[in-house]
Chains A and B, each alone.
Chain A
Amino acid sequence: MSKPFSVSRRQALIAGAAGLAGAAAAPLAGQTADQAARARVPADPTKIQGPGATDVGARSPFERPARLSGGRRTSSQTPLQDLSGIITPADLHFERHHAGVPAIDPERYSLLIHGMVERPMVFTLAELKRFPGRSIIRFLECSGNGGRAYGRDAQDAEVSPQQIDGLTSTSEWTGVPLSTLLREAGASPKATWFLAEAMDAAVMTRSIPIAKAYDDAMIVYGQNGEALRPEQGYPARLFLPGFEGSSNVKWIRRIELADRPFMTREETSKYTDPLPDGTARMFSFVLDAKSIITEPAWPDRLTGPGWWEIRGLAWSGRGRITRVEVSADGGRTWMVATLDDPVLPKCHTRFRMPWRWNGLAATLMSRATDETGYVQPTTQALIAARGPSTSYHYNNIRAWRVAADGTVRLAGGTI
């Protein structure tokens, strides 16, 4: 859905120039991307043959959803507010990497499995694809996602769902269960952990409990019907449903089975959660239930009172979302939202609630519950449990303040 009111003219010019390259005429000087697109629309499309078939499709020149890298080299965020349903188009899947996106020749790619196995094995990409496969639809979220909605510093802010929570995406992933590969290598029953190692310039590593391998871990090579995108680990990555993004090692080259964790930098110095009692939690893999209203949200502006649909996403790393409640009065009263099918475990779930806006200031909130009975906590409750300056796993309730003029801002502070 295009939101012309939400995009500044400058942004539109830039996005247009980047997004339309090759697909349509670049905007002329002083022309917005929409104006350029409009100039190519015939007065009456029913009276003129359209362009013919193409080998690779492109978005309507009027639709320009884009990731936000904001000058950062190591991450870009999914435009949650521009998407419908639960699937993230592959080219809009968020990115997070430590040393850029490596270029890998699929012909030269291979995965080594060794350590506590009877038969250390090497698998080419073609061999990985020959194993009995599986496709699953699951979310993937960076554990640093949502930091902007946490803590006392979060004042009423002009930040979009993309800027707050854009480090989560959902795809259909296709690959081979890791348990199948471990059987092929003859994994020792005494192995309790495995190391997953990437072939990027960080040679990124994480230790994973082997139980996850026998539960639902996969080596995936497909994303939304095509090969993985380079940013998501082409040609193959580890996929651990419900586990924090960084443990889903991309560009995976090696798996080593062991009887203890390896204590890599990304599970000690980073991706650990300091707690108020002077400890820090390690191996806090599972992402607890969370939700965010993606519409209305900044930079939307409600054009007038009347019926609007509150829409958003909810997800939990522990299983299915069983309920999402929405409040339009800052949490005093809650209503149960409708969940769109499919409601899948460890997957973005779309919720909706019709809302009749009376034109007065309102505070919109959403609260997700998952199948374990876990209820998304308030910011105050999460700060009480984790401390104001903890790191990672910010799943507190997000609130949006709608002003009488229809503008919407992230409500910060004590909510």
Chain B
Amino acid sequence: MTQMFYPGGHGGFHGGHGSSRTTCRAALAAAACLLAAHVATAQAPTAPLGLGRAATADEIRALDIDAAPDGRGLPLGRGTAAEGSPIYAAKCASCHGVKGEGGTAERLVGRNDGDSFAFATNARLVRTIGSYWPYATTLYDYTARSMPFSQPGTLTPDETYGLVAYLLFLNGVIPEGAVMNQASLPKVAMPARDHFVPDNRQGGPTVR
């Protein structure tokens, strides 16, 4: 590939020249205008540039997989612990343990005495869905998008609701027969829910 360089070339200045000429039409002092014509300051555009294209509804639907705590984004479907249990055994237990006790991958099940949240001072507390996760919808969202680890994104909504129900049941968060769906999942009260606080660090001399 050959590249040619023209010392003293002026291709890059056309835009600046043109825009200052426009300004000059309205200018009263011709001399000032002539000066300005040589050097114009670049100005960032402040309106849309018309780049990119409109997204189609189908495109958005294909990617918009997130589920939020208020239930927005949860798909239609349903599942119970009894339905999730065999799916868990087949697709999750090999890494997370038969009852979610952990294995090659993280422990998913367990509570601490008195639902202690002293994680900062007691390294022995178990950190699980039941002891640390503030929102049940996060479990749906994460399982659907990232699990099972070796085949992410392959679970159907019914399978995912069943797995979520099973894991919430094993964690003692919902009763065995509870049906998890669009309406019930956002209502599940997670034991750790009220322990989370916004960041209060703000620089300055105080160490927080």
Contacts and interface: CB of A to CB of B under 8 A. Distances in A.
A273 B199 CA distance: 9
Contact of A284 (B121, B152, B201): B201
Interface stretch (A34-42, A113-121, A356-364): A113-121
Contacts of A278: 117-118, 195
B55 A120 contact: yes
Interface string A272-293: 1111101111111110100000
Interface string A383-411: 00111111100000000000000000000
Interface string B33-64: 00000000000110111011111000110011
A130 B51 CA distance: 8
Contacts of A389: 119-123
A98 interface: yes
Chain A contact-residue range equals 35 or more
B49 A112 contact: no
A391 B127 CA distance: 12
Contacts of B127: 269
Contacts of A186: 48
B146 A281 contact: no
A97 to B, nearest CB: 12
A105 interface: no
A120 B60 contact: yes
Contacts of B158: none
Contacts of A131: 49, 51
A268 B67 CA distance: 14
Interface residues of B, number: 54
Contacts of B3: none
A275 B207 contact: no
B207 A184 contact: no
B169 interface: no
A265 B197 contact: no
Main secondary structure on chain A at its contact with chain B?
loop
B206 to A, nearest CB: 8
Contact of B152 (A121, A202, A258, A319): A202
Contacts of B49: 130-131, 184
Contact of B141 (A121, A264, A388): A264
B65 A381 contact: no
B120 A390 contact: yes
B55 A121 contact: yes
A93 interface: no
B133 to A, nearest CB: 6
Contacts of A264: 66, 138, 141-142
Interface string B188-208: 000000011111111111011
Contacts of B160: none
Nearest to B190: A268
Given A205-B66, A377-B207, A280 B123 contact: no
26 contacts: A99-B146, A114-B64, A120-B60, A121-B55, A123-B52, A130-B51, A201-B146, A203-B152, A256-B66, A263-B135, A263-B138, A265-B146, A268-B133, A269-B127, A269-B133, A269-B142, A275-B197, A276-B118, A280-B117, A281-B199, A284-B201, A286-B199, A286-B203, A375-B205, A385-B208, A388-B121
Q: Nearest 7 A-B pairs (CB), nearest first?
A: A387-B120, A372-B203, A274-B119, A389-B123, A120-B55, A265-B142, A274-B120
Interface of B: 44-45, 47-49, 51-55, 59-60, 63-66, 68-70, 117-123, 127, 129, 132-135, 137-138, 141-142, 145-146, 149, 152-153, 195-205, 207-208
Given A130-B49, A374-B204, A387-B120, 15 more contacts: A127-B51, A197-B63, A197-B66, A203-B65, A260-B69, A263-B134, A265-B142, A269-B129, A269-B132, A275-B120, A282-B196, A286-B201, A375-B205, A377-B207, A388-B120
